[in-house]
Structure 1
Amino acid sequence: MSRNHWKPNKEANVSVYQQIFIYMKNKIISGEWPDGFRIPSQRKLADEFEVNRSTIVTVLEELKSYGFIEARKGSGTLVNYNEDSDFSLRTINWNSLIQSSIYESNNRVVQDINDLELKDQFIQLGKGELSPSLFPKSTMSQVLSSISNQINYLGYEEAKGFRPLRKAIAQHLREYGIKVSENSVLITSGSLQGLQLISLGLLKTGSTVFLGEPSYLFSLKMFQSAGISLYGIDMDEHGLNLSDIPFSKKYENRSALYCIPSFHNPTGITMPSSRRKEVLKVSAQYNLFVIEDDVYRDLWIDTPPPQPLKAMEETNNVLYVGSLSKSLSPGLRIGWIVANEQVIDRLADIKSQTDYGTSSISQLIAYEWLKDNLYKDHLKAVRRELKFKREVMISSLHQHLNSLATWNIPHGGLFIWIKIEVNISIQRLYLDMLSEGILINPGYIYGKRYQDYIRLSFSYASESEINHSIAILGKKIRFLSKLA
């Protein structure tokens, strides 16, 4: 209702009361306001339509008399279809279907953040993407020109994806010690599709996936919607604290261990080699396959991270997930899963049933970037910029939040995980920053326990935007701490 732009015409021959009644009636009978939809308060309606509250009271009473709405104690005024009403044109109860559907709705705050990230008027201090200034426009234009001469027909690719691209990815991964053939590579529409395919193809309803907490997976519903539980385990400065995995009978259906070993989202932690070996040992001991999400690996700033778990394993228990979304362009929607051929064949079959394959053009573009040195050259520029942006944010944090918060300096990736050390409401801080035109990510979307954390991204905003935003952040925290 707050996005409504319609107002009654006070100069029209039809009374204002009748205009509002017809407007609200049409919203209901069209199904736009479905059964169970909560009608805004009288005061809010009066403000929206710029009329007296008494006019709204009259409209609502008439809507009740026709059976369009009803007042329910404790619930407010809700849309209600009355089959005997002269005006009731019954429609599908979309609200009921939405609420009972298999795929769970995302957290309301996460939905709002996803919407706000698309609005140019906000400074994006939480966005997990590279700055548009790092988009390689000139090189991408050359790549597009090159592939335009290669396109004779755009049909479906192999279920596993464009074979030359799979070969190029396999070659790229050999630099990290992962030795596979293209037959063990599946092209996905981004890394998230890879995780969803794993949840559908390898995990049964009622199973448990262990993962470090906090985790960005808690802000998504792909596993939970498939009837799979996520069990958060503590993290220390080296990543997953494996002694905290509860191997009790309660978790007989434990199936997998999910981790982001390099530049973790949201904490920025990188596992040392010793902890990676421990992960492999524990997973093999308790018959857990490992989902290694390595989408940030190429974004190292100081030194390259240790070898992936996939390169260190001896048991073939690791499913390796990668992507170009964080390092090149999210719009390409190019990711991959690396596993044994039996698993890849299974996941490719599911993918072909859902989308018949990732965009052929996107795969051609990705192949052109990976086959030579274009991608490597691009990463050099990205790392220089990320190092500069990281130093800008760290310097600004020291200047404005030094006595208010603590943080670690990540050696790569996009994020800084910040603990607010004074007693404030992070929800209020999030909203107050929004009122200043600055979007941050509150820590509680990554786990309910993280009510005193925020995640900031240094990759997207400009230098001046970072300095401006951190200064305001410090002022807001100080102000809220005085109210506590």
Structure 2
Amino acid sequence: MRDIHWKPDKNSVIPLHQQIYDYLKGKIINGEWTVGTKIPTQRSLAQQFEVNRSTIVYALEGLIADGLLQSKVGSGTEVLNNTWSLLTSMPPPDWKSYVNSGIYKPNIDIIQEINRSEADPTVIRLGTGELSPELLPNEQMLKIFQDTQKENLSLGYVEPKGRFSLRQKVSEYLRAKGIVASPESILIVSGGLQALQLISIGLLERGATILHETPSYLNSVHVFQSAGMNLLGVPLDQEGVIFEKIEQLKRQHRAALLYTIPTFHNPTGIVMSEQRRQELLKVCQKAALPIIEDDVYSDLWFDSPPPLPLKSQDTQGNVLYIGSVSKILSPGLRIGWIVGPEPVIDRLADIKMQTDYGSSSLSQYAVEKWLSNGLFTDYAKRIRTELRKRRDFTVHILEKYFSNFATWSIPKGGFYIWLKLTTNASTRKLFELALREKILLNPGLIYDKLDDDHLRISYSYASFEQLERGLIRLSELIAHHTPKLR
């Protein structure tokens, strides 16, 4: 609902309050805002419509007087009636109760705010985990599709596990990572998040417990929670997840599996050491605890390649491996893969066919072409070079402007710097303050609800000019408002 793009015409002879009244009334009587819908706050509406708050108050008072809205102390303003409920004795459907009873849990408010703000081109996005539009291979992608007249390109559905020729290319690509996987043990999915969704509904029971590193990207999505499962964090250090208590945690909490991002961890950027990988795999095999290995960042190394994936050492089929082209090639293609034992892949493929009947055949065709003839490998080299420049540029700004009130480690790859504030400033309040100045942050509480000290700073999306301007202004906000940020 907060995604409102309409604005009143300040050059119109119709008063602003009347334009706003008519717009809001239209949302109600056309059924877009149903009975029980909570409308945005007066301050929010004033910001979105770029008018004084008194103008909003005047418009809302008219709607309240007409019996369309009601204001409740402590709970805001909501839709009371619409034209149908005024004209008939039969009450309209209570869509609010439907929304509240849906099985898929809503994101926390701050993530919803981030998702909305990312659509605003005037916002400087200092936390966004994707490549800058200027780094995406638009011309090369266009050429691939222009060359399709030479190919036997199908626009129909593909087989349940995905385009076989693509799975062959993925199999060859994984071989360079030490992973032996036949096309039969690979499922093409619509990105890494769908891989997690399929696992949650296809393999696990309600009430199961998922172990994960803390902090973790998994806390920022509700894929397992919405399937009726619980998340339990396991601490990590600079070598990766601390594995000593995993076997005990499995027994105590009936843990179903462990989710890990061992390479360029999101959000901390940590790379699990080779020894830690071997020890973790051994402990999980002994405890019969399956592992989900999320490996979407491993091609983004700067100086030297990271250790091989856990899956490369997995001889017992204990690891479900998730990969994707979203972090290097294009987030919009929505193509990734799951690698695992064939019975598991067969099960997940069946679930996928029931949910979307297969990932886009056009996207699969494009990714297959990128994985052929060294195109993807060459492009990955270019992206690594560009990201390293951005990392160095960002670290230089941090050293110049943040040294007095923050600490960080320099990442060896990936997208992120895990910035810890040492000023006792609340990153939740800093998020709100920065957003008012069109600077979008990813505070640590997204990844660990108890963390109010960290920011995930991304150097992958914002331009050099935006990184400099946004970070310098952020440092000023921290310096000037620290007493107010607690």
- TM-score, normalized by length of structure 1? 0.90
Q: Structure 1 residues 386, 281: closer, same or farther in 2, change over 3 A?
A: same
CA deviations over 1:49-79 (Å, ceiling 9, x no partner): 965967855652441xxxx555556435543
Aligned to 2:211: 210
Alpha-carbon distance in structure 2 between the residues aligned to 1:140 and 1:16: 46
Contact preservation (8 Å) 2:215, 2:447: yes
Alpha-carbon distance in structure 2 between the residues aligned to 1:120 and 1:449: 31
Q: What is the aligned-residue RMSD (CA, Å)?
A: 2.9
Q: Structure 1 residues 153, 27: closer, same or farther in 2, change over 3 A?
A: closer
Aligned to 2:186: 185
Alpha-carbon distance in structure 1 between the residues aligned to 2:369 and 2:160: 20
Q: Is there any run of 5+ residues in structure 2 with no aligned partner, and where? A: none
Higher mean alpha-carbon deviation, 458-467 vs 399-408, is at: 458-467
Aligned to 1:276: 277
Contact preservation (8 Å) 1:172, 1:370: yes
Q: 1:60 aligns with which of 59, 64, 73?
A: 64
Aligned to 1:80: 80
Q: Structure 1 residues 315, 480: closer, same or farther in 2, change over 3 A?
A: same
Aligned to 1:237: 238
Contact preservation (8 Å) 2:247, 2:284: no
Alpha-carbon distance in structure 2 between the residues aligned to 1:89 and 1:343: 50
State the aligned residue count: 478
Q: Whose radius of gyration is greater, 1 or 2?
A: 1
Which amino acid in 2 is paired with 1:179? V
Find out whether 1:35 has 2:44 as its counterpart.
no
Contact preservation (8 Å) 2:42, 2:56: no
Q: Structure 1 residues 468, 92: closer, same or farther in 2, change over 3 A?
A: same
Higher mean alpha-carbon deviation, 460-469 vs 168-177, is at: 460-469
Which amino acid in 1 is paired with 2:143? Q
Aligned to 1:473: 474
Alpha-carbon distance in structure 2 between the residues aligned to 1:106 and 1:291: 22
Which amino acid in 2 is paired with 1:366? V
Per-residue deviation at 1:206? 0.5
Per-residue deviation at 1:249? 8.3
Alpha-carbon distance in structure 1 between the residues aligned to 2:386 and 2:250: 49
Which amino acid in 2 is paired with 1:423? N
Per-residue deviation at 1:415? 0.4
Alpha-carbon distance in structure 1 between the residues aligned to 2:45 and 2:385: 52
CA deviations over 1:151-192 (Å, ceiling 9, x no partner): 454221110011111011011101111011110000001111
Contact preservation (8 Å) 1:417, 1:456: yes
Alpha-carbon distance in structure 2 between the residues aligned to 1:5 and 1:466: 30
Aligned to 1:352: 353
Identity %: 44
Q: Structure 1 residues 252, 6: closer, same or farther in 2, change over 3 A?
A: same
Alpha-carbon distance in structure 2 between the residues aligned to 1:391 and 1:153: 44
Q: Structure 1 residues 152, 169: closer, same or farther in 2, change over 3 A?
A: closer
Alpha-carbon distance in structure 1 between the residues aligned to 2:284 and 2:12: 70
Q: Structure 1 residues 17, 185: closer, same or farther in 2, change over 3 A?
A: closer
Contact preservation (8 Å) 2:129, 2:460: yes
Q: Is there any run of 5+ residues in structure 1 with no aligned partner, and where? A: none
Q: Structure 1 residues 271, 93: closer, same or farther in 2, change over 3 A?
A: same
CA deviations over 1:384-412 (Å, ceiling 9, x no partner): 11111111011110000011100011111
Aligned to 1:307: 308
CA deviations over 1:351-379 (Å, ceiling 9, x no partner): 11111111111111111110211011101
Alpha-carbon distance in structure 1 between the residues aligned to 2:377 and 2:361: 23
Aligned to 2:337: 336
Aligned to 1:429: 430
Per-residue deviation at 1:119? 2.1
Aligned to 2:455: 454
Which amino acid in 1 is paired with 2:174? L
Q: Structure 1 residues 44, 301: closer, same or farther in 2, change over 3 A?
A: closer
Higher mean alpha-carbon deviation, 430-439 vs 403-412, is at: 430-439
Aligned to 2:130: 129
Give the match's secondary structure for 1:242: coil
- TM-score, normalized by length of structure 2? 0.90
Q: Structure 1 residues 172, 160: closer, same or farther in 2, change over 3 A?
A: same
Which amino acid in 1 is paired with 2:64? L
CA deviations over 1:186-232 (Å, ceiling 9, x no partner): 00011111111111111110001100011111111111010011111
Alpha-carbon distance in structure 2 between the residues aligned to 1:338 and 1:468: 42
Aligned to 1:412: 413
Q: Structure 1 residues 272, 475: closer, same or farther in 2, change over 3 A?
A: same
Aligned to 1:368: 369
Contact preservation (8 Å) 1:43, 1:53: no
Higher mean alpha-carbon deviation, 392-401 vs 233-242, is at: 233-242
